[in-house]
Homo-oligomer: A and B are copies of this chain.
Amino acid sequence: MYTILLEHIRKYVAITDDEAGLICSKLKVTAIKKKAFLLIPGKVCKANYFVSKGLLRLYFINKKEQEQITQFGLECWWITDYDSLDTQKPSGFYIQAVEDAEVIAWTQETQAELTHAIPQLETYFRKILQRAYTAAQRRIVYILDYTDEERYRLFSTSYPGFLQRVPQYMLASYLGFTPQFLSKIRAKK
């Protein structure tokens, strides 16, 4: 089902039904099973992935040999390693399904073909990126201004439903601390 992507695009730019048809004709939906990978280190990232169903995570192995999650990809989020996608160099990241999921792969060829035919898509991606960049900046602000405990409490009140969908150790990793510490602050109250 591409409807979810088309609806998302139409939240940002106006496209005709013909244009929508063209977009669909160039895309395919890929199902990925829980724990399957879309990208592993050493490989070049081949697409920007629109999550139409389920939940993915982007992570790398840090200096302490532990998984460090940098991003989750929920429904209607784009997830990719832009650095690898742009430079065509091998990635250092994993992209993995946390739940059974479906993604729409948007390759560089898709980008070239479709933005040529539908210039508004360039605007769509500019707006999406501006939103993503703003979110990344806000995340940096939170990291700099709040303690780990404060960030956990903020996160869990802001996204209570999300807590049910990920193991605690993944949330701890995303927030930048250890599962033990998360247990400790959960026990406190």
Task: List chain A positions with a Cβ less than 8 A from chain B.
Answer: 60, 62-63, 68, 70-71, 82-83, 86, 115, 119, 122-123, 125-126, 129-130, 132-134, 136-141, 143-146, 176
What's the number of copies of this chain in the assembled complex? 2
CB atoms of B82 and A140 under 8 A apart:
no
CB atoms of B68 and A145 under 8 A apart:
yes
CB atoms of B144 and A68 under 8 A apart:
yes
Q: Binding site of A, secondary structure by majority: helix, strand, loop or mixed?
A: helix
Cα–Cα, bound, A132→B145 (Å): 21
Contacting residues, chain B, for A115 (C-beta < 8 A): 123
| Apart from A63-B146, A70-B141, A119-B122: 15 A-B pairs, beta carbons within 8 A | A62-B144, A62-B145, A63-B145, A70-B140, A71-B137, A82-B137, A83-B134, A83-B137, A86-B130, A122-B122, A126-B129, A129-B130, A133-B133, A133-B136, A136-B137
Instruction: Report if A136-B138 is in contact (Cβ < 8 Å); known contacts: A126-B126, A145-B63.
Output: no
Cα–Cα, bound, A115→B126 (Å): 12
Q: Which 5 A-B pairs have the closest CB atoms?
A: A136-B136, A129-B129, A126-B126, A133-B133, A122-B122
Minimal beta-carbon separation of A63 from chain B (angstroms): 6
Instruction: Report if A60-B132 is in contact (Cβ < 8 Å); known contacts: A122-B119, A122-B122.
Output: no
Cα–Cα, bound, A123→B83 (Å): 17
CB atoms of B129 and A133 under 8 A apart:
yes
The closest CB in chain B to the CB of A120 belongs to: B122
Minimal beta-carbon separation of A170 from chain B (angstroms): 14
Residue from the set A60, A125, A138 with the largest chain B CB neighbour count within 10 Å: A125
Cα–Cα, bound, A123→B140 (Å): 26
Minimal beta-carbon separation of A148 from chain B (angstroms): 12
Cα–Cα, bound, A5→B82 (Å): 24
Minimal beta-carbon separation of A128 from chain B (angstroms): 9
